[in-house]
Structure 1
């Protein structure tokens, strides 16, 4: 994913201050290419698919692209800020789009497209086209010195923890770990947070994939300021 998005960014040439449109185009075409490459493989059945949440981090911006029900979260000071909105079949705009294409959303252990898939966008899952699409939603957030960390995770975490719970756990462990970290420590504060959130999700009997990435923005900020 990062390779195709980087290639599309280099290819896009929108002039002036429209750098946001350039990123939106790079993400949109990049996701489409990733989808085409996945489904072009003869060993990949049409029922294979995945969510995708991708973040580009610069010195001044957090640019996030989401397709599906994975989620990105920003901890800023005492705030917990969602950077993405889950693309669920019963989300008002997504429901309207699906039904407008002749599809149905059925409540079968939660809202699902034709009672099967519990998200409305994804990479792959070609058997549910045109209702399931690989089109991402892109958001932009200006960075500040108050930014603590960035959390990207699949719904195995969000099914059993709220945004606020995740943010509270992340802030607590990051700050405690930063105070006590030594040069002999092999595990970064961000990894400690990711591991702890994973343990909580398992402890709450999460029944879905649990993939968690934590980015320590304080560390990144200091490193970029030195460059």
Structure 2
């Protein structure tokens, strides 16, 4: 209110002092005032952003409290947060399998976010089976030298898709997107099928590790139309006016227009790697890659913390686990505060060696 009063006083004063034929001095005054006003507006926006972030560190909003599921660091699900949000049903699923491949020559961790549609069955089936299928594929090909990650991921996703579509209990309109990350000592492998997303923070820069599969993406639109399908704008671009993603596991009724083949990106790790975020589109619909990385960085540095200082612990491993889980929870709550209407699932992986 004080700022508004001051602005009004300045405007009224200028109305009385600026003549009809402005001199050079008056023009300078006008420019000065305009720059000050722009500065005030910018400052207000920053304060509004920080106020939103305070849903982060403290305030207990009743709606958020009812809608969220906060996984405590002492339970068996660290590094992640998954909330039903404003949906009636929870259709997302998360998978964290540390050391899912553990051999003398390699140790790999598996992280995945599945965003179901038409129900949660396909997402839950992927959570239970996909990492096992991938581990089996890796085991079969691990003696053949350097692994062909593109082939391994594609075969695992296709087998998962066949399992789902061959079972009569799954309705033909059920499906799930999948973004999977396999993290080893030397590389990060991301396979994406759908519109969930993986983002890497490297040297202060947000690096996308996947590309969203939207029906209006030029190459996806061409593929769909070439196979005889259509993209219809029905409350957004959708395959046959039904599905808002062009790739998924399941969705038997939309074959061959919707496929389960993932796009695979392999990144060599380096000392600048900070962390990785995997999340469903409930987060990315309202938060940019850059801002998500900014928030997580502050959480991992201890600058955004949802607990009081009296709860600080001296155990470094437990503290790191808490900070990653805290970062995931902060992102889900921030997405809700920004009006996300979908389920929101987030995994944060600390990559600092």
TM-score normalized by the length of structure 2: 0.58
Q: Answer 1 or 2: higher relative contact order, Cα 8 Å, separation at least 6.
A: 2
Q: Are 1:44 and 2:170 an aligned pair?
A: yes
Q: Report if the CA contact (8 A) 1:67-1:122 is conserved.
A: yes
Structure 2 partner of 1:11: 140
TM-score by length of 1: 0.89
Partner of 2:190: 64
Identify the residue that residue 325 of structure 2 maps to in structure 1.
191
Q: Deviation of residue 161 (structure 1)?
A: 0.7
Match of 2:336 in 1: 202
Question: Which residue does 1:151 correspond to in 2?
Answer: 277
Task: Show the counterpart of 2:290.
Answer: 164
Structure 1 residue 10 displacement after superposition? 1.9
CA apart distance, 1:9: 1.6
Contact 2:177 2:249 in 1 (8 A): yes
Asked whether the 8 Å contact 2:249–2:259 carries over to 1, the reply is yes
- Residue 38 of structure 1 and its aligned partner are, at CA, apart by 1.6
Q: CA deviation at 1:178?
A: 10
Q: Name the SS for the 1:213 alignment partner.
A: strand
Larger Rg: 2
For residues 82-110 of structure 1, the C-alpha deviation after alignment (integer angstroms, 9 at most, x for no partner) is 00000111111110000001110111222
- Is 1:130 matched up with 2:223? no
**Structure 1 residues 14, 110: CA separation in 2 closer, same or farther (over 3 Å shift)?**
farther
Cα deviations across residues 175-199 of structure 1 (Å, max 9, x unaligned)?
1269986336676211010000000
Structure 1 stretches of 5 or more lacking a match? Answer: 222-227
Alignment partners' CA distance in 1, 2:219 and 2:347: 29
Give the direction of change, closer, same or farther, for the CA distance of 1:151–1:59 in structure 2 (3 Å limit): same
Alpha carbons 1:125, 1:132 under 8 Å: kept = yes
Local SS of the residue matching 1:131: coil
- Name the counterpart of 2:26: none
Is this contact kept in 2: 1:156–1:210, CA < 8 A? yes
Deviation at 1:148, TM superposition (A): 1.1
- The one of 211, 216, 236 aligned to 1:90: 216
Structure 2 contact 298–304 (Cα < 8 Å) conserved: no
Number of equivalent positions = 216
Q: 1:124: how far off?
A: 0.4
Task: Indicate conservation of the 8 Å contact 1:149/1:214, yes or no.
Answer: yes
